[in-house]
Amino acid sequence: MNQALAVLSAKDLCVGYGEKAVLENVRLEFVKGEFISLLGPNGAGKTTLLRTLSRHLAPLGGEVLLGGADLGKIVQQDLAKTMSVVLTEKVVPPLLRVFDFVAMGRYPHTGWRGRLTEKDDQVVMEAVAMVQAEALLYRDLDTLSDGERQKVDVARALAQQPEIILLDEPTMHLDLKHRMELMSILRRLCREKGICVVASLHDVEIAAKISDKVALVKDGEIRAFGPPEDVLLDDTVADLYDFRNVRFSRVLGTIEMENWVDRGRVFVVGGMGSSSVLYRLLSKKGYGIVTGVLHRNDIDLHVARSLGAACLVEAHLDGISQENMEKARVEMKDCDCVIDTGFELETINAGNLDLLKDAVSMGKPVLSMRNGSGRELYTPGEYGAIKFSTSESNLVEMVKCLSLPI
């Protein structure tokens, strides 16, 4: 990495309170225009690290460099022109309007009386526009909702015209709308203003999608630091948060609750993206899932795997092999029912239809979400034996009614 570009860097930094070190050997480098997420469980030291980087805490060892200069030696006012913060502490002074609150960010730029010049007004208005809070401009600070407040906080930090903004858990207490809005605002700060944004986040899914780099904080050290694509692997994430029944999927970029079987086992014949919703629903309701035969490139396969389902996989993009067909039949025998997800039928997955027909002849209860002319694929005899359903939830209700052994 180019040394000259680093806005803020930590060299062998040791952070903590008093004698007690919380994190050791911290080596980080934040570059202009980057979005950096600090991830890690509660109490791992994310806030302590941020407070040290913002000079609210003195480092216990090592050093923090801001634009190449030792952070500890920078004049307070110059520091404020380079770095601003958004803290978790939400102070609501009475009788303070949003405009005046954001204008407080001009502190390091104004004279002894803090009089706002035309340029200051302009910067404040730009900051407010950047966070799309124009409508709030003359509202009293104590009438804002959490989401609005957070945006205004960012605007205040922005009014300092910093090169780097540190945010401590900016999405805490925010609903989904405001959370996504805030994240996109922060990303725009990086892209459009070239500001380096460092935020401690709880949401791995969002962090993976938005960050240029993530730092994983756990057990007194930075476990990993780099692009989320390299760092946020299925196992690393599980390990970071000590996941038990939850899995992170790097491919899907989502977290799934692992299948917790306390009901029957069902065999899902699906594929072509037709079964992901059903997998999640079955998994949520506590059914064990066996599924197949899926092709290697199927989205359903990634979802099924992240849920911990047993998958029969066809390695080649070709018709289903006899070997897999045989395996599927064996699995089917152990299952309490077989479900047809109504997948689109192509030549390469034609074998799956045969599996369903086999299931009927085996005497297994078969449920199907196939509708319309698709149902004509079954013979009249098979049609009579199969129970049809139009939605996943309805189907699962029907599975429940089969009174499977619990």
Binding site for other proteins (CB under 8 A): 54-56, 76-81, 83-85, 87, 89, 91-96, 99-100, 104-105, 107-108, 110, 112-114, 116, 118, 121, 124-125, 135, 137-140, 142-143, 160
Q: Distance between terminal CA atoms of the chain?
A: 58
In the bound state with other proteins, the residue whose beta carbon lies nearer, of 142 and 397, is 142
Q: Of the two residues 115 and 244, which places its CB atom closer to other proteins in the complex?
A: 115
Cβ-based nearer residue to other proteins, 45 or 105: 105
Taking the C-alpha atoms of residue 132 and residue 271, their distance in angstroms, rounded to an integer, is 43
Least distance from C-beta 157 to other proteins, angstroms?
A: 8
Cβ distance to other proteins smaller for residue 81 or 187: 81
Please return the burial class of 72, using the count of CB atoms within 10 Å of its CB with bins 0-12, 13-18 and 19+: exposed
Query: CA 233 to CA 306: how far, in whole Å?
Result: 13
Task: Locate 24 and state its tokens.
Answer: 């050791």
C-alpha torsion 31→36→38→39, nearest 10 = -140
Nearer to other proteins, 109 or 247 (CB): 109
CB 314 within 8 A of CB 320: yes
Query: Which C-beta is closer to other proteins: that of 91 or that of 330?
Result: 91
Q: Closer to other proteins at the Cβ: 116 or 396? A: 116
CB of 34 to other proteins, least distance (A): 20
Residues 324, 312: contact at Cβ < 8 Å? Answer: yes
Handedness of CA 319, 323, 327, 329 (dihedral sign): positive
> Which amino acid does the sequence have at 78?
D
Tokens of 7: 């806005």
Q: Report, in Å, the least distance between residue 26 CB and other proteins.
A: 20
> Apex CA 96: angle with CA 91 and CA 99, to 5°?
105
Residues 203-209: contacts with CB under 8 Å, at least 24 apart: 203/171, 203/179, 204/39, 204/232, 204/237, 204/241, 204/248, 204/255, 205/253, 205/254, 205/255, 206/171, 206/179, 206/180, 207/37, 207/39, 207/232, 208/232, 208/250, 208/253, 209/253
CB of 129 to other proteins, least distance (A): 12
Q: How far is the CB of 345 from other proteins (least distance, A)?
A: 56
- The minimum distance between CB 121 and other proteins, in angstroms, equals 4
The least CB distance from residue 51 to other proteins, in Å, is: 8
Q: Which two tokens stand for residue 269?
A: 């014949």
- Tell the smallest beta-carbon distance from residue 192 to other proteins (Å): 22
Give the nearer residue to other proteins in terms of CB position, either 112 or 363.
112
Q: Which residues of 249-270 are buried (b: 16+ CB within 10 A; e: fewer)?
A: bbebbbbbeebeeebbbbbbbb
User: Which lies closer to other proteins via its Cβ, residue 84 or residue 324?
Assistant: 84
CB-nearer residue toward other proteins: 152 or 207: 152
CA distance 54 to 10: 12
Minimum gap (Å) between residue 185 Cβ and other proteins: 19
CA distance linking residue 266 with residue 331, whole number of Å: 10
CB 214 within 8 Å of CB 225: yes
Output the smallest distance, CB 66 to other proteins, in A.
Answer: 13
266 close to 338: Cβ distance less than 8 angstroms: yes
